[in-house]
């Protein structure tokens, strides 16, 4: 029986199915939620229908096999579940009219606008009508697909608190009729800072995953954060904060393969094989930093992480030859970053003269 998907599927083992569902969740969750939000104009319906689609996959795929196009299967199934829910509710007509109203209120974007449903979704989740903590929690749930416990660990707060933030944020979006679209060119500068903060937290969750049963590095999250940041940079090519954040992500992602051993253990910087770092990502990150410095763009709130961190001299072959003072942020770090900041600061003190350890960082290598 393949009524939910497209094409024939071949039977696979339970391990293969579990891996396929996990991979599909990482790759397709945001697409499915974004597609349903675009169609029905309701984040609650979108989230519930997407979750039901994945639950159906858990039940069906072991017997029917993994479909050739898991994303299409999940989207089709989720759409059917959403329609079924609307039909079951007493106010079906009102809900359909409401969804259609939200859909019609979304005006066509400019000809050069980037058509990406996930980008629409993240700007909706990061709308300024929402409190910052609600924007972050909602985006991590709806766009990145993190569970409430994962988000709670990232925020160092209780799960119930995160659940309430997400619920209230979705209710606020519905009550305020927040449009599902990428902001206009005039609105972008004011809206992008909140989006960048969210993207950095998504990247950070992937860089060192908080889940007890997850891989220490979740490439799906870091890749998604980088992909969305690239899209925003395409919308705002002259924005220094966007370029700085993208550079920071790229230079950090460049070390991903060297950060985890074959047995799945994290490898300290002292023991990493620098030859395994991604030279292309390093080059791209340095190019972005050089462009920002050459343009003499005014630094914004995230100046320290986005400008100072990419100054890391990536070419030295050993830790002892690294210019640690150039990597030390001068701003007060966030509580979750304080230990790492203190460690770098301490190493900088030990490897330089007291009068020069906070010298101006040199230009990145050419």
Question: Is this model's pTM higher than 0.75 or not?
Answer: no
Containing H/E element for 92?
helix 92-105
Cα 284 from Cα 226, distance rounded (Å): 12
Note the pLDDT of residue 313.
Answer: 44
pLDDT level of residue 101 (50, 70, 90 thresholds):
very low
How distant, in Å, are the alpha carbons of 40, 74, 257, 262, 285 from that of 71? Answer: 18, 5, 27, 30, 31
Contact 177, 169 (CB under 8 A): no
Cα 337 from Cα 98, distance rounded (Å): 43
At 63, list the tokens: 């017997």
Cα 278 from Cα 256, distance rounded (Å): 8
Unique residue bearing structure tokens 């206009």: 184
Cα 343 from Cα 336, distance rounded (Å): 13
- With a cut of 80, say whether residue 233 has pLDDT above it: yes
Cα 76 from Cα 6, distance rounded (Å): 9
Chain segment 132-154, per-residue pLDDT in tens: 889 989 988 998 888 898 888 87
According to DSSP, residue 321 is labeled G
Contact 36, 49 (CB under 8 A): yes
Cα 261 from Cα 266, distance rounded (Å): 6
pLDDT level of residue 191 (50, 70, 90 thresholds):
confident
Contact 344, 324 (CB under 8 A): yes
Neighbouring CB atoms inside 10 A of 264's CB total: 9
- With a cut of 90, say whether residue 330 has pLDDT above it: no
Chain CA centroid to CA 311, Å: 23
Cα 247 from Cα 297, distance rounded (Å): 15
According to DSSP, residue 47 is labeled H
């Amino acid at each position: 029986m393949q009524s939910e998907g497209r094409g024939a599927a071949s039977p696979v083992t339970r391990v293969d199915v579990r891996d396929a569902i996990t991979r599909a969740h990482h790759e397709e969750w945001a697409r499915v939620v974004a597609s349903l939000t675009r169609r029905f104009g309701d984040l609650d319906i979108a989230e519930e229908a997407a979750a039901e689609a994945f639950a159906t996959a858990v039940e069906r795929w072991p017997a029917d096999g993994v479909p050739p196009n898991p994303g299409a299967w999940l989207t089709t199934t989720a759409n059917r579940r959403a329609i079924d829910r609307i039909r079951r509710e007493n106010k079906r007509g009102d809900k359909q009219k409401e969804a259609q109203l939200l859909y019609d209120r979304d005006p066509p974007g400019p000809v050069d606008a980037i058509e990406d449903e996930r980008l629409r979704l993240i700007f909706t989740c990061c709308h300024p009508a929402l409190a910052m903590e609600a924007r972050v929690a909602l985006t991590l749930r709806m766009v990145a697909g993190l569970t409430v416990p994962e988000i709670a660990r990232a925020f160092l707060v209780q799960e119930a608190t995160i659940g309430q933030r997400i619920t209230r944020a979705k209710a606020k979006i519905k009550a305020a009729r927040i449009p599902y679209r990428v902001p206009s060119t005039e609105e972008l500068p004011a809206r992008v800072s909140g989006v960048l903060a969210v993207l950095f937290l998504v990247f950070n969750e992937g860089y060192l995953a908080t889940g007890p049963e997850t891989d220490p590095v979740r490439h799906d999250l870091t890749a998604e954060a980088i992909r969305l940041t690239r899209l925003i940079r395409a919308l705002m090519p002259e924005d220094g904060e966007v370029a700085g954040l993208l550079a920071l992500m790229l230079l950090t992602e460049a070390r991903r393969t060297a950060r985890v051993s074959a047995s799945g253990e994290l490898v300290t910087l002292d023991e990493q094989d620098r030859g395994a770092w991604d030279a292309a990502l390093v080059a791209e990150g340095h190019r972005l930093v050089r462009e920002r410095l050459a343009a003499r763009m005014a630094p914004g709130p995230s100046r320290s992480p986005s400008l100072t961190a990419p100054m890391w001299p990536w070419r030295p072959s050993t830790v002892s030859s690294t210019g640690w003072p150039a990597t030390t942020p001068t701003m007060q770090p966030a509580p979750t970053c304080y230990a790492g900041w203190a460690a770098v600061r301490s190493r900088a003190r030990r490897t330089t003269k007291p009068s020069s350890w906070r010298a101006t960082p040199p230009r990145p290598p050419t």
